[in-house]
Amino acid sequence: MTDLRIAIVGFGKIARDQHVGAIAATAGAALAAVASRNASLSNLPHFATIEELLHKGPPIDAVSLCTPPQVRRAQAAAALAAGKHVMLEKPPGTGVAELDPLIAMAADAKRTLFATWHSRYAPAVEPAREWLATRRIRSVHINWKEDVRVWHPGQAWIWEPGGLGVFDPGINALSILTRILPKSVFVTAAELAFPANRQAPIAANLTLTDIGDTPITAEFDFRQTGPQSWDIVVETDQGRMSLSRGGRVMAVDGKIISEAPDEEYRELYRRFVVLAATGASDVDLAPLRLVADSFLLGERTIVEPFMD
């Protein structure tokens, strides 16, 4: 079987830090080109735009879209129309409804559309899901706080409409939540803090539940300094289960049950190779729906301006 020839579109920090190495480590995948206005990779064909890549580039089978979400829909549509498989970095778009035409295009073309949630592939997430499946859940709390200046330095798009602000990392927590809980969850209330000079929130507190009225709360904040917090705590009838370090460590009543190195992006590309072999798609919009509902229900407050 020949390798899936992949072009990365959008070559920012996450593409350099995660995608390049993950493709190199994935059997059946090969990085064939880069499309980016501002960056390139030595020894690889480079193009300024996806249009130039598709018309003038080397033969490719797939594109991995690592551009800001505001432009991904049009890029995905162009790639699917050209007969390419498409991987979407998270979030898959700026709205929920814009994904429906892409799903239909992929099905018609028998090409893969893969909306990725990399945090679901953290090593302790599946053990947590399996453990919770046989317990009665009493409550859930998410504490997801990080320093935007460390993780998104100079990335102005994240503060623009569609950039999601603090929900860019927060959606990672929601992607884990919707994977590990046995019942679907929904938002009942939200408090959103918007810097006076920005169009997206810098912090958010959410109240959620499921059909059984399980209390679920989440705290997201982009202003965290010092140690970063990526934790989910679930109280059950058989003890307290915690996921920490973004889903890499699972513990029950303080005892570590599962811990492993981070291979989230390698797992994404392994999944992409399998999907592309048959043209199957994987598009779960549950995390994005929760973010959209948070904006719909959110009570907004204005806080001090944010200066990068």
Residues classed as catalytic: 90
Helical segments of 152-238, H only: 167-180
Whether the upstream peptide bond of residue 215 has omega within 30° of 0, thus cis, is no
- Decide: 251 and 231 in contact? Cβ < 8 Å: no
Q: Which residue in the block uniquely carries the two structure tokens 């249009």? A: 51
Per DSSP, 219 falls in state E
From residue 22, alpha-carbon distances to 85, 294, 305 in Å are 17, 32, 37
Task: Give the integer Cα–Cα distance in Å for 106 and 83.
Answer: 9
Q: Which residues neighbour 81 within 8 Å (Cβ) at sequence distance 6 or greater?
A: 105, 109
Strands 185-195 vs 113-115: parallel, antiparallel or unpaired = unpaired
CA–CA separation, 163 and 76 (whole Å): 17
Work out whether the CA dihedral 123, 73, 81, 45 comes out positive or negative. Answer: negative
- C-alpha 226, offset from chain centre: 24
CB 58 within 8 A of CB 64: no
Please, how many CA atoms are within 13 Å of residue 160, restricted to the half-sphere of its CB? 9
Alpha-carbon dihedral angle through residues 26, 151, 78, 4, given to the nearest 10 degrees? 0
Is residue 231 within 8 Å of residue 143, measured between CB atoms? Answer: yes
